[in-house]
Amino acid sequence: MTLKLGVPSKGRLQADAIEWFGARGVTLERTGLAREYAGRVRGVPGVELVLLSAAEIPSELARGRIHLGITGQDLIREQFPRWQDCVAELAPLGFGRADLVVAVPAIWIDVVDMGDLDAVAADFREVHGFRLRVATKYHHLVRDFFRRHGIADYQLVDSQGATEGTVKNLTAEAIADITSTGSTLRDNHLKVLEDGLILRSQATLFASRSADWTGRRRDRLADLGRRLGLGELPEI
């Protein structure tokens, strides 16, 4: 019985995943035509490669359709508030690094931290008659972060496009988004609040807690873990 390993189907994440596994003697190969999402794993027996979008991998892990998957910690924690019940974190991989942060217009010179944002949000509602808008794709993580900072006078605006452009386009007053270098935020005249770091994320190898681990699948996971140098694996 094979283990199904979900890997991003394209882009930088796929290339980095192939490199990471290859450096440890495990080869990930795409098979078939360029548009087919099939592949194989060489260097460790009993592991099947499944190519998926990074956004699909969390739900496929949660449903138990794949045993292992590589995706961002941000996607796992956003989709599953009780993520430890759905997946086990096997290894951060050291690539795909990005920070989920709260950013506001750079011209707000008196707003440097979340406490200042709280004060601005209260004033904003009094002046404009509606709550300060925060554009984001990460509703759960942002709500939890704002709650921990005691901020209530705000509303989340769903953003599935270029979140950093929402302030310029007057559809939001602040944003919470992923950034790796901060250059895109600066290009859009935004600044990160001093205590506005919500999550440091990176690509991570996860194991599904709801997949079928019967047969020899746990043994195959142990073999793969030894080949990858993962050390002691968590209980699944």
On whether both 78 and 193 belong to a single domain, the answer is no
- Tell me which residue of 20, 13, 97, 80 sits closest to 53, measured CA to CA: 13
Q: What is the pTM of this model?
A: 0.90
The predicted structure's pLDDT at residue 30: 77
CATH of the domain at 122: 3.40.190.10
On whether both 70 and 127 belong to a single domain, the answer is no
Q: Is 70 inside any structural domain?
A: yes
On whether both 131 and 191 belong to a single domain, the answer is yes
On whether both 208 and 147 belong to a single domain, the answer is no
| Structural domain span for residue 190 | 98-201
On whether both 154 and 213 belong to a single domain, the answer is no
Q: Is 236 inside any structural domain?
A: no
Whether the CB-CB separation of 204 and 177 falls below 8 Å is answered with no
On whether both 107 and 194 belong to a single domain, the answer is yes
Q: Is 235 inside any structural domain?
A: no
On whether both 163 and 195 belong to a single domain, the answer is yes
Average pLDDT, the chain: 93
Q: Is 233 inside any structural domain?
A: no
**Total structural domains in the chain?**
2
On whether both 215 and 180 belong to a single domain, the answer is no
The predicted structure's pLDDT at residue 235: 86
- CA 48/CA 122 separation, integer angstroms: 53
On whether both 80 and 122 belong to a single domain, the answer is no
On whether both 158 and 173 belong to a single domain, the answer is yes
Answer whether residue 231 shows pLDDT above 60: yes
On whether both 157 and 219 belong to a single domain, the answer is no
Q: Is 195 inside any structural domain?
A: yes
Long-range contacts of 75-80 (CB under 8 A, 24+ apart): 76/204, 76/206, 77/140, 77/141, 77/199, 78/137, 78/138, 78/139, 78/140, 78/141, 79/140
On whether both 106 and 148 belong to a single domain, the answer is yes
Q: Is 123 inside any structural domain?
A: yes
Confidence of residue 199 (pLDDT cuts 50, 70, 90): very high
Question: For 26-30, 38-42, 178-182, 198-202, which range has the lowest pLDDT when averaged over its residues?
Answer: 38-42
